[in-house]
A and B are shown apart, each in its own frame.
Chain A
Amino acid sequence: MKEIVIISGKGGTGKTSITASFAYLGGKDIVVADCDVDAADMHLLLEPDFKNSEDFYSGELAIINYEICINCGKCAEVCRFNAIQLNKGIHFIDPISCDGCGYCARVCPVEAITNEIQNVGKTYISNTKAGNIMVHARLGIGADNSGKLVAKVKNEAKRIATENTAEMIIADGSPGIGCPVVSSLSGADFVVLVTEASVSGLHDLKRVYELVKKFKIKAGCIINKYDINQMLSKEIEKFLIEENIVFISKLPYNEDFTKAMTIGKTIVEYENEELKTIVIDSWNKVKQILT
């Protein structure tokens, strides 16, 4: 079983639309993992049934028991996150700033502080309209530990893929280069980088590829909106050659991309033969690379 992760560095390059199309084309042979837990959108295209859900607990929050607290302020002295503030003579915890390190509880002389494990989200295992199983999640508002939630989504997808002897896992990653992206890359066999022909697209592609290189994972690239800046698109192609990244395909700027999404369809379900053909060819190319 092979694992493909689709990332972009920059947001809004068409990553999710392309991942959902691949998922649609892969059908029951693949398991889908939406690892963009921070702003998960793939469910809007694949219509999962949210059949099984599970709460996700991770990280701690300090709670002061005021019946025991002697208001000595030792907790505030050691807190490096400015999460314990004095207001009208009483120390209180700011839950948004609290990092859950537990240092305050360890120095409290009267043991008035406890750490409570936090429910920071939910994971789901669903059947999609494409006939595949999809693992997805929702991170709670402002929650920490998105990297851990990504790991959970990926592990569940792996378990299901093994049980069902699926050929492949397709994972949609989040933008950026931080902990959720690092977490989504671990264990991947192939990375598809989706970029766009803009100065930001190239800049972010270079940074995210530096990260991929650290993991020594083979990568391929899809250039979206290549015709809004043909010179830059060529520059991206040159970069791909230099770095030995497989050039998968390039897609033109086309509003049908957005129109398909607006009616909840993947590109391969939409009446635009040009886009459809490119995406199907891209999928076949990715499958070929992996076999």
Chain B
Amino acid sequence: MKIAIASGKGGTGKTTLATNLASYLSESEEIVLCDLDVEEPNSSLFIEGKLVHEEDKFKMIPEWIEDKCTLCGICQKVCNFHAVIQLGSQIMVFPELCHSCFACSELCPVSALPMKPKKIGRLKHLQTNNLSFVESKLDIGEEQAVPLISQTQKYVDKHFSDQVIKIFDSPPGTSCPVIEATKDADFVILVTEPTPFGLHDMKLAAETMKALKKNFGVVINRFGIGNDDVIDYCKKENLPILAKIANSRKIAELYSHGELIYKKVPEVKQQLKHIKNYILKLEEGGEI
């Protein structure tokens, strides 16, 4: 079963929830936690484990072979992303614009643009007791997170059975990286805070999840601050509120030190239990 944790607005507590929930669930069963926020992955700051595997990740880009090229111009014409440009008697490839669609390479009549791997990031796999942890980090300067997110999910699919609960920490926002990180999820948890920013961005995230036809619920973090608008919205839209994590300076302090919160704050453990029960019920009911 795949559970994605997403939010819309950044800094609402996605990573806090992902790491605490994964660690808590792993006390009773085998869990996989995967950090798909490849631009700024933070889960590893809260999880200790033994490194079992690491590998570089690549995307495929065309490489120009001058000797073979007849300068027919087809490559430039077929590239919708302006990643291949003909300048005089030169073909220029712009790797950061390339979407790896292979069109230029395969439609080149003389095979002068073979696809070659280019490193875009690094994947790490850690293990501790019942918890497996996988994260990928995008290389600085690489603009596209989507290929790395997709490959990281493939790694998880290949190495762990469908029966295991997998928790995916997603990137913030509502655009392509979030879609990539949530589109295969059986259930999505949207983490928000009860403020105008939290509500505004949660509405966008909820609309995105509806467009993806996802089954999803809401966790309210920093509960007690702000106003009741998030709760009213959830009621109106019939969105289940799975848990409320209280606004507290102590929690912010524990987080700032890289500590798991539920181990020191019993109320948070109680809230995680609510989420666990909700997920188990969905599973029993065959809904996910």
- A residues neighboring B (CB under 8 Å): 9-13, 16, 38-39, 41, 44, 60, 78, 80-81, 96-97, 99-103, 106-107, 115, 139, 141-144, 146-147, 174-180, 182, 196-201, 203-204, 207-208, 210-211, 214, 225, 228-229, 232, 253, 255, 258-259, 261-262, 264
Contact = CB atoms under 8 A, between A and B. Distances in A.
Closest 9 CB pairs of A and B: A12-B11, A11-B10, A101-B101, A198-B256, A176-B39, A38-B173, A229-B256, A11-B11, A179-B143
A101 B80 contact: yes
Interface string B87-125: 000000000000111110011000000000000000000
Nearest to B39: A176
B236 interface: no
B68 interface: no
Interface residues of B, number: 60
23 contacts: A9-B40, A10-B40, A11-B11, A38-B173, A38-B174, A39-B9, A41-B9, A99-B99, A101-B103, A102-B103, A103-B101, A103-B103, A141-B204, A141-B207, A142-B208, A144-B175, A175-B40, A178-B177, A197-B256, A200-B45, A232-B256, A258-B226, A262-B225
Given A39-B201, A141-B211, A197-B256, A146 B78 contact: no
B137 to A, nearest CB: 8
Given A9-B40, A12-B10, A38-B175, A147 B143 contact: yes
Nearest to B202: A39
Interface string B250-274: 0011011110000000000000000
Given A80-B101, A228-B252, A253-B249, A178 B9 contact: no
Contacts of A16: 197
Given A175-B10, A199-B258, A228 B174 contact: no
Tell me the interface secondary structure of chain B in the complex.
loop
B39 A262 contact: no
Contacts of B178: 142
Contacts of B143: 147, 178-179, 182
A173 to B, nearest CB: 11
A203 B37 CA distance: 13
Interface in B21-59: 37, 39-40, 42, 45
Given A39-B204, A101-B101, A142-B179, A12 B9 contact: yes
A42 B121 CA distance: 32
Name which of A101, A174, A210 has the most chain B CB atoms within 10 A of its CB: A101
Contact of B45 (A12, A60, A115, A203): A203
A77 to B, nearest CB: 10
Contacts of A261: 195-197
B172 A210 contact: no
Interface of B: 8-12, 15, 37, 39-40, 42, 45, 78, 80-81, 99-103, 106-107, 138, 140-145, 171-179, 183, 195-197, 200-201, 204, 207-208, 211-212, 222, 225-227, 247, 249, 252-253, 255-258
A77 B144 CA distance: 24
A39 B42 contact: no
Nearest to A139: B175
Contacts of B255: 198, 200
Contact of A177 (B8, B103, B138, B195): B138
A46 to B, nearest CB: 12
Nearest to B16: A200
A10 B11 contact: yes
A182 B256 CA distance: 27
A177 B40 CA distance: 7
Contacts of B212: 96, 142
Nearest to B141: A214
Contact of B140 (A41, A198, A201, A211): A211
A106 B107 CA distance: 9
A264 B200 CA distance: 12
Given A10-B10, A39-B9, A264-B196, A78 B183 contact: no
Given A38-B174, A44-B197, A102-B78, 12 more contacts: A12-B11, A78-B102, A142-B176, A147-B143, A176-B37, A177-B40, A178-B145, A199-B42, A199-B258, A200-B15, A208-B40, A225-B256
A174 B80 contact: no
B9 A139 contact: no
B219 to A, nearest CB: 15
Contact of A39 (B10, B78, B141, B183): B10
Contacts of B142: 178
